[in-house]
Structure 1
Amino acid sequence: MTGTPVIRGAAGVAVFLAAVELAVRFTLAEGVVFPPPSVVLREAAFLVADPDFLAGVAATLLNWALGLLVAVAVAVPAGVALGTLPAAERAARPLLEFMRPIPSVAIIPLAILLIPVDTAMKAAVIVYASVWPVLINTLYGMREVDPLAKDSLRSFGFGRLAVLWRVSLPSAAPFMATGVRIAAGVALILAVSAELLAGGSAGIGVYVIKAGSGNRTDLMLAATLWAGAAGLLANTLLQAAERRLFRWHEAGT
């Protein structure tokens, strides 16, 4: 039964690729250059042995991991603090609601001007984009803590820190994990976007720029395909970790 969704998903992807293949080969107007999926998949397979591309993947994943880790280290404590202190949350809410809708891609040119170090600039942009899903989900998780459970622990003489450690954090942990999983996808998008706009010595986005300068649309799409595969893999692994660590939460919901 567990393999059925995978089989259905693979079948859906195969049908979609076949439809695009036929559309590209037989319906595009003359003079329109767009590689069919078969060519893109072939080039994507060749990229596995391309040292320049592999170096770019490593650089992108390094920036992605660095930015995501910093975002989690900042957003989780901030979300816990704001969720525990209603007065602080009310004071910070206007600023959060002002900054959160700002498109993260829009701050890349500003970051380029303000942060001269390439890796630090890209990591800063990733942090800004990734903080919000973790922060908002942490806040939401802290609000969803059962007040009866907290009151019960207080009635036995436990202090605020003990209630936070024994009740609030375990209850909010699944929401935090969901925020991290969402932020992981956002972080990868910003990692590649920053490379596309700021350039650099290596990265998936840098490889796409170089392929585009050589009019290699097939290589551009092949590199983009691997970026999507990296995002899918990260989401799948984090989702599996959520299910394994928080089985009690899934059973309760």
Structure 2
Amino acid sequence: MDSAVICGVLGVIGLFCLAEAAGRLGLISTLQLPLASTIVVTAVELATDPDFLADVGATAAGWALGLLTATALAVPAGLLLGSLPPVERALRPLIEFLRPIPSVALIPLAAFVFTDRLEMKVAMIVYAAAWPILINTMYGLREVDPLAKETLRSFGFGPAAILWRVGLPSAAPFIVTGIRVAAAIALILAVSTELLAGGTSGIGRFIILAESSPEGLTLTIAATFWAGALGLLTNGLLVLAGRRLLRWHTALTEADR
């Protein structure tokens, strides 16, 4: 097993033991923070609850749809802007104005625009997740070797062929990194939208309903745990997919070390 994985597992176990000891010794009130063991038991019970699993599936579906849509829009836009500097300079002020706007702050506005909660969730995810993919794609094209581009031009290749043969492969590692960053942002927006705008399903909806139950705090933390686990799982899958798709880049990186 990889040493980094072992260290991560040991770190989680150590944190669990510290949290459990703090609760058992009275250093932290169990009214403010339930025992770590209680949270773990509740989380395991939720994993067998069909209603909660349906909520997790709804969040995951919105997350996947939003991330795929953001990728399909942001990658071509990034390639276009990165290939045409005059267009990028013209749109740069607009990009820099829209990019810093907190996506969560737009949820109330989106609630008025979209009547369907799934459409609203996907729209918010697309808005938030598109930026890291767009920016990484643009920056990736800036790292293209000028000599490689000039070589292709000397052999009569046009701009489209140069972009396909040199630009896109060079930008691919940046695009994959942008998608990984966007995946985490997309999950945050999916749960936040469910929390703030409501709906009929999702982890956020489950948390809202859990607050009114006798075990509200424990259920809320356990549901949040599974939201984090979902993020960890998706990030791991994207890392594996990136390594498989970019084997040539990994080989070059290891050869340079």
Aligned to 1:156: 155
Contact 2:22 / 2:28 at 8 angstroms: preserved in 1? no
Cα distance in 1 for partners of 2:56, 2:31 equals 30
Aligned to 1:243: 243
Aligned to 1:179: 178
Cα distance in 2 for partners of 1:145, 1:130 equals 24
Q: TM-score, normalised on structure 2?
A: 0.95
Is 1:44 aligned to 2:43, yes or no?
Answer: yes
Aligned to 2:113: 114
Aligned to 2:131: 132
Amino acid at match of 2:205: V
Cα distance in 2 for partners of 1:102, 1:213 equals 32
Amino acid at match of 1:39: T
Contact 2:133 / 2:175 at 8 angstroms: preserved in 1? yes
Cα distance in 2 for partners of 1:159, 1:169 equals 14
Offset at residue 18 of structure 1 (A): 0.7
Offset at residue 48 of structure 1 (A): 1.3
Offset at residue 31 of structure 1 (A): 7.9
Structure 2 residue runs of 5 or longer lacking an equivalent are none
Q: How many equivalent residue pairs?
A: 252
Amino acid at match of 1:232: L
Secondary structure in 2 matching 1:213: coil
Contact 2:23 / 2:30 at 8 angstroms: preserved in 1? no
Amino acid at match of 1:48: A
Aligned to 1:27: 26
Cα distance in 1 for partners of 2:82, 2:32 equals 53
Cα distance in 2 for partners of 1:102, 1:30 equals 38
- Bigger shift: 129-138 or 208-217? 208-217
Q: TM-score, normalised on structure 1?
A: 0.96
Secondary structure in 2 matching 1:126: helix
Cα distance in 2 for partners of 1:30, 1:230 equals 29
Offset at residue 21 of structure 1 (A): 1.1
Amino acid at match of 2:223: A
Amino acid at match of 1:4: S
Aligned to 1:13: 12
Offset at residue 28 of structure 1 (A): 4.1
Is 1:123 aligned to 2:153, yes or no?
Answer: no
Is 1:217 aligned to 2:204, yes or no?
Answer: no
Offset at residue 161 of structure 1 (A): 0.9
Amino acid at match of 2:240: A
